[in-house]
Amino acid sequence: MTIDKSSLEGLFTAIVTPFDADGAVDYPALQALVGRQIAAGASGIVPIGGTGEYPTLTRGERAGIVSACVEAAGGKPVLPGVLATGYGDALEAGRDFTAAGAAGLMLVTPFYAVGPQEGMRAYFARYREAIDVPLMAYEIPRRTNAALTAETYAGMAEDGSIIGMKYSSYDMPTFLAVLREVGDKLAVLSGEEPLFATHVAAGATGGVLASASLFPTFWLEVFRKARSGDLRGALEMQYRVDAALAAIYRETNPGPLKQIMKMAGHDMGGVRLPLTEPSAETMAMLSAVLPDLPLETELA
């Protein structure tokens, strides 16, 4: 499958990784989850990012997850996250995922050893040259302490190293600057549910959203409203899930998300260390918002 920036439009679900009672990857549950997303209208699947617990998985598990997702996605693109800290490890992972059928990769900005802007640009350029597969940059400064400027993204577009980006930040001025500089050259996708409608109305081509693991149809409708110019209507929809999002992201993702999915009838198992199960307070909040969730049956 060949993808380009025009392929990155609509909803790309950042899925959780299901585990069974013994803590192993639950592949039947994983493929069922992917199938539900595609049936709901998702444009593609983004497995094993932060929501998919990339750091807790072995190299073999990651490749197996990508292969299972490709099989279940029915021809829709699978763009796994590559969250490695170093170039060599990232390249090995990318090659594993490409061999497993990934249409592209979501490559996180380098972290821990954080380089200057020119170093970040060169990192993506060298990676793209080595792996020869479409890349989406993943910017999430609150986790990586690395934020790229609009000018750097313009340089990356000029290099041809990426076709798009997932923007996970509340920095709206920078987001708008990125759209101004590269909105016609790269697909800019929102990674923030509370800002999703606003991002789309401003020019984002879609989103990579974790809570879509539970209610994808809802986010697709928000996307359609915002894309059509009805920002007020899209925001009014989003207000319905403000309390749910506050509960889901009260503790490190995806612990609370997996728990509310279980409450809703989709058991994805627990999380792996160093993550732990949500606190009693968070569990109470999740239980409280469950009756008001926009699940698929409520949108029919």
pLDDT in tens, 93-114: 999 999 999 999 999 998 888 8
The per-residue pLDDT of the chain, averaged, comes to 95
Q: What's the average model confidence in pLDDT over 140-159?
A: 93
Domain for residue 247, yes or no?
no
Q: What's the average model confidence in pLDDT over 187-212?
A: 98
Domain for residue 80, yes or no?
yes
Domain for residue 52, yes or no?
yes
Q: Which of 123, 138, 153, 249 is catalytic?
A: 138
Helix (H, G, I), strand (E, B) or coil at 188: strand
Q: What's the average model confidence in pLDDT over 12-38?
A: 98
Q: Which of 5, 76, 166, 225 is catalytic?
A: 166
Domain for residue 252, yes or no?
no
**pLDDT over 70 percentage in the chain:** 98
Which residues constitute the domain of residue 139? 5-230
Tell me how many domains the chain contains.
1
Q: What's the average model confidence in pLDDT over 33-42?
A: 97
| pLDDT for residue 296 | 63
Burial class (CB in 10 A: 0-12, 13-18, 19+), 219: buried
| pLDDT for residue 114 | 87
Domain for residue 245, yes or no?
no
Q: Does residue 60 surpass a pLDDT of 80?
A: yes
208 is annotated as contributing to ligand binding: yes
Domain for residue 248, yes or no?
no
CATH number, domain of 87, equals: 3.20.20.70
Cβ-Cβ contacts under 8 Å for 253 (sequence gap 6 or more): 50, 51, 210
In the residue annotation, 185 being an active-site residue is answered as no
CA 108 to CA 241: how far, in whole Å? 28
Cβ-Cβ contacts under 8 Å for 43 (sequence gap 6 or more): 7, 8, 9, 10, 11, 12, 76, 77, 206
Q: What's the average model confidence in pLDDT over 210-227?
A: 97
Q: Does residue 299 surpass a pLDDT of 60?
A: no
In the residue annotation, 138 being an active-site residue is answered as yes
Domain for residue 61, yes or no?
yes
**pLDDT over 90 percentage in the chain:** 92
| pLDDT for residue 262 | 97
Domain for residue 162, yes or no?
yes
